[in-house]
Amino acid sequence: MSNKYIGQATRRVDGRAKVTGQAKYAAEFQTEDLAYGVVVSSTIAKGKITAIDTSEALALEGVIQVFTHNNVSGLAWFDKSYKDQDSPPGSPFRPLNGPEIKFSQQPIALVVAETFELARYAATLVKVDYETEGPVEVEIRDHLDKAFDPGKGKQGYKKPKNRGNFAKEFAKSDVRFETSYYHGAEHHNPMEMHASTVIYEADDHLTIYDKTQGVFNSQNYVTGIFGLSKKRVRIVSPFVGGAFGSGLRPQYQLFMATLAALELKRSVRVTLTRQQMFSFGHRPATLQKLSLGASQDGTLQALNHAAYSETSRFENYTETIVDWSGAMYKCDNVSYDYKLIAGDLYTPLDMRAPGAATGVYAIECAMDELAYKLRMDPVELRLKNYTEEDANQGKPYSSKELKACFQQGAEKFGWSKRTPEPRSMRDGKTLIGWGMATGMWDAMFVPSRAKAFLSADGKLTVSSGTSDIGTGTYTIMTQIAAETLGMPMEQVTFKLGDSSLPLAYLEGGSATAASVGNAVRITCENIREKLLKLLSRTSYAPLADRPQEDLEFADGKIRLKADPEICISYSDILKQAGENYLEDTSTALPNMLKQMDYARNTHSAVFVEVRVDEDFGTVRVSRMVSAIAGGKILNPKTARSQILGGMVWGISKALEEESQVDSNFGRFMNHNYAEYHIPVNADIPAEMEVIFVEENDDVVNPMGIKGLGEIGVVGVAPAIVNAIFHATGKRIHELPVTLDKIIMEDLVVE
Q: Per DSSP, which regions of 535-652 are E strands?
A: 551-554, 557-560, 567-569, 581-588, 601-613, 619-629
From its phi and psi, is residue 666 left (phi > 0), alpha (psi between -120 and 50) or beta? left
One-character DSSP codes across 27-67: GG---TT-EEEEEEE-S-SSEEEEEEE-HHHHHSTTEEEEE
Active site positions, annotated: 710
Q: Give the span between the Cα atoms of 463 and 497, in whole angstroms.
A: 9
Three-state SS for 227?
A: coil
Phi then psi for residue 650, to 5 deg, are -65, -40
Question: Rounded CA gap, 652 and 646, in Å?
Answer: 10
- H runs (alpha helix) in 395-511: 402-413, 473-485
Chain-centre distance for alpha carbon 210: 18
Phi and psi at 109, nearest 5°, equal -160, 155
Query: Strand 492-495 to strand 460-463: parallel, antiparallel, or no bridges (unpaired)?
Result: parallel
CA-based nearest residue to 321, from 195, 153, 480, 115: 153
Residue type, 81: S
**Residues ≥6 apart with Cβ < 8 Å to 106:** 41, 42, 93, 95, 279, 346
Q: What is the per-residue DSSP string for 629-677?
A: E-B--S-HHHHHHHHHHHHHHHHHHHHT----EETTTTEES--STTTS-
Cα-flanking dihedrals φ and ψ of residue 322, to 5°?
A: -85, -15
Peptide bond just before 488 cis, omega within 30 deg = no
The amino acid occupying position 564 is P
What is the C-alpha end-to-end distance of the chain, expressed in Å? 60
Q: Quick one: how many helices (H) and strands (E) in the chain? A: 18, 31
How many Cβ atoms sit within 10 Å of the Cβ of residue 313?
17
Contacts of 674 (CB under 8 A, 6+ apart): none
Strand runs (DSSP E) across 146-241, as ranges? Answer: 175-183, 195-201, 205-210, 233-236
H-state helical runs in 375-504: 378-384, 402-413, 473-485
What separation in angstroms does the CA of 685 have from each of 3, 437, 721? 37, 18, 16
Strand order in the sheet with 430-442: 426-427, 430-442, 601-613, 619-629, 687-692
Q: Which of 690, 688, 687, 588 is nearest to 633 (CA)?
A: 690
H/E segment holding residue 167: helix 166-172
Give the integer Cα–Cα distance in Å for 550 and 560. 6
The candidate with the shortest Cα–Cα distance to 436, out of 604, 602, 603, 606, is 606
Q: Cβ atoms within 10 A of the Cβ of 419, count?
A: 11
H/E segment holding residue 216: helix 215-226
Looking at the DSSP bridge assignments, the partners of residue 725 are none
- Dist. CA 695–CA 684, nearest whole Å: 29
Spatial separation of the C-alpha atoms in residues 418 and 411, rounded to whole Å: 12
Produce one character per residue of 227-262: b if its CB has 16 or more CB atoms within 10 Å, e if not.
Answer: ebeeeebbbbbbbbbbbbbbbbbbbbbbbbbbbbbb
